Chain A
Amino acid sequence: MTQDKKISIRVGLFIFISFLLLVGAILILGRKRNMFQQSIKIATVFSNVQGLRVGNNVRFTGIEVGAVSNIKILTDTSALVVLSIDKGAVPFIKKDSRTIIGSEGLMGSKIVMLLPGTPGSPAVEDGDEITSERSIEFDDIIKEIQISGEKISEVANNLIEITGKINRGDGIFGKLFTDSELTQEIDQTGKNIESLSRNLKEVTEKINAGEGLIGHILMDTTFAQKLDETSINVAIISSNIEKLSSRIKNGEGSLGQLFADTTSAKGFIRMSQDLEKAVNNLSEISQKMNDPSNALNQFIADSAFADTLKITFRNLNKGLTEITEASEAVQRSGIVRAFSKDKKKKP
């Protein structure tokens, strides 16, 4: 009897453990398939489900949040996909979330990815329909490649034409590659450019060092200050001019009267006519002066004449000083002093 009991216990334990294993396996599978978890159902419509099957995973921000629970054809161009979403993930999925079909790796099974909606909008509810986005399919990629391939072949044809022209020596580039004279010229030009740039470099160095006028302008801070002051003065002047002009406009002062008084305008016109005549005369004179045969022109333009004039003046100056000295000497000399009227005043 005890032997029988032992056997019974062993057999019972054995079957119990194997049953536990089965239950364990079912639980693990069940948790994966969300069978024992509360979930809601939301719908989305795709134009192409790309081989999605019932039971495929649904991911939200990369986390599995549910599974595809049903797929059926809705119209001739759309398919309804029902997703079951875990209750725990529902608060994070907004009503304006979008779905897109992706795949797990290159060869993996298809998945539905939920793209997050805007933060403020309400969470999805059971029976909601959310919009889908068209994902890039392999066929699209192939089409794209085909188009770009055609374009590339066009470009290649053009390149062949261009290189052919270059080889034949057509056009500027052709000459560039085939004409030796042109290359020499280009070479020369390059040398010139080099020397030019060297000169430029020297000039800029000088400017940097503060040499020359431009250097002075750019580098001298005191000069800049002066310039600043000048500009302030200019501003003052301009404001004065403005005031003046406004006063003139208002008819203040004689100039204002001049502008504002119509009676004196006639006289003014006559005056300006006279002025014009005078200017004409002046221009005649200046033309005559420009004529090299004219004496006045010699006076102005002839540098040699100017030199002699300078020397003459210098000599004159010298002469005058000598005369002054001589006169002083004469003043000091007693003979003259004796005859001078103011001899008593001098001590």
Chain B
Amino acid sequence: MATKKLSNFFIQLANIFAFTVLTVKYMFRRPFEHNEFVRQLFLVGYKSFGLISITAFIMGLVLTIQTRPVMEEFGAESWVPTMIFISIVIEIGPVITALLFAGRVGSRIGAELSSMRITEQIDAMEVSGVYPMKYLVTTRVLATTIMLPALVLYADFLALIGSYIGYAMHNTIGIVLFIREAFDELAFSDLIPATIKTFFFGFFIGILSCFTGYNTNRGAEGVGIATNSAVILSSLSIFIIDLIAVQITEILIQ
């Protein structure tokens, strides 16, 4: 039983790998599905903007309000902007945004593709000479890969605004000075790796959601399973990539 589970896991892993290779291969194959790609960018990125904005704003506000009294106790209240913004840029911004993104976009892609699979729309596409991998998967994966970093940048900015409002409740400080202080201890070695890893987050959210949706085979029940595992696998992958990214950044900066 255990061996079967283990072998299933490895089979799944191999399938995911094969699926990833195939997706990347189809990305460079002409013709490029332009209209579908833009539509996916719109659905994946633009439609997630509202959710991400509200969460990021509240995140910055709440973090600041909760951190300020503790820092005040240490007499390091003036370090609040710096501290909050560093933690937002390095970790909270990318991870929280990616998790929300996985929940919102991953579930949508998983459900969409799996229901297309069980209603045999994908098969019909193959028959009619349209590459479903190309039309459905690569556009979605590219869309998530490009849109997540953009959303993370928005999220960082809005969290900074939220943090300013939270800080300005108790302190008199101008927005310019606040931003200056926020960027005080931030380095390129913080901003660049954090941005690069969001591309990987987006890519794997897209790949895993598409994979679970694309490989469904058990009818209506399969749609539920596929949606569920799309979110779970995406979220899990975020943390695993985050862990690897931290290690690589550490090695590269040293």
Contact = CB atoms under 8 A, between A and B. Distances in A.
Interface in B169-198: 179, 183-184, 186-188, 191, 195
Nearest to A32: B183
Contact of A15 (B146, B184, B195): B146
B38 A7 contact: yes
A304 interface: no
Interface string B145-159: 011011101101100
A29 B184 CA distance: 8
A15 B150 contact: yes
B150 A33 contact: no
Given A14-B150, A29-B188, A21 B157 contact: yes
B161 to A, nearest CB: 12
A32 B179 CA distance: 12
B195 A7 contact: no
B38 A4 contact: yes
Contacts of A18: 149-151, 153-154
B250 to A, nearest CB: 16
B38 A22 contact: no
A15 B38 CA distance: 11
A306 interface: no
A28 B183 contact: yes
A11 interface: yes
Instruction: Tell me what chain B mostly uses at the interface: helix, strand, loop, or mixed.
Output: helix
Contacts of B3: none
A25 B179 CA distance: 10
B41 interface: yes
Interface stretch (B42-50, B114-122, B217-225, B237-245): B42-50
Nearest to A55: B187
Interface residues of A, number: 19
Interface residues of B, number: 25
A10 interface: yes
A29 B191 contact: yes
Nearest to B190: A29
Contacts of A19: 150
A28 B154 contact: no
B35 interface: yes
Interface in B90-106: none
Contacts of B153: 18, 21-22, 25
A26 interface: yes
B222 to A, nearest CB: 31
Contact of A10 (B46, B146, B156, B184): B46
Given A18-B151, A21-B157, A22-B153, A11 B41 contact: yes
A273 interface: no
Interface in A16-72: 17-19, 21-22, 25-26, 28-29, 32-33, 55
Contact of A29 (B41, B42, B183): B183
Q: Determine which residue in A8, A11, A33, A55 has the highest number of CB atoms from chain B within 10 A of its CB, and name it.
A: A11
Contacts of A7: 38-39, 42, 46
A14 B35 contact: no
Q: Which 9 A-B pairs have the closest CB atoms?
A: A18-B150, A11-B41, A7-B42, A21-B153, A18-B153, A28-B183, A11-B42, A8-B38, A21-B157
Interface of A: 4, 7-8, 10-11, 14-15, 17-19, 21-22, 25-26, 28-29, 32-33, 55
30 contacts: A4-B35, A4-B38, A7-B38, A7-B39, A7-B46, A8-B38, A10-B42, A10-B46, A11-B45, A14-B41, A14-B46, A14-B150, A15-B146, A15-B147, A15-B150, A17-B154, A18-B149, A18-B150, A18-B154, A19-B150, A21-B153, A25-B156, A25-B183, A28-B179, A28-B183, A29-B183, A29-B188, A29-B191, A33-B188, A55-B187
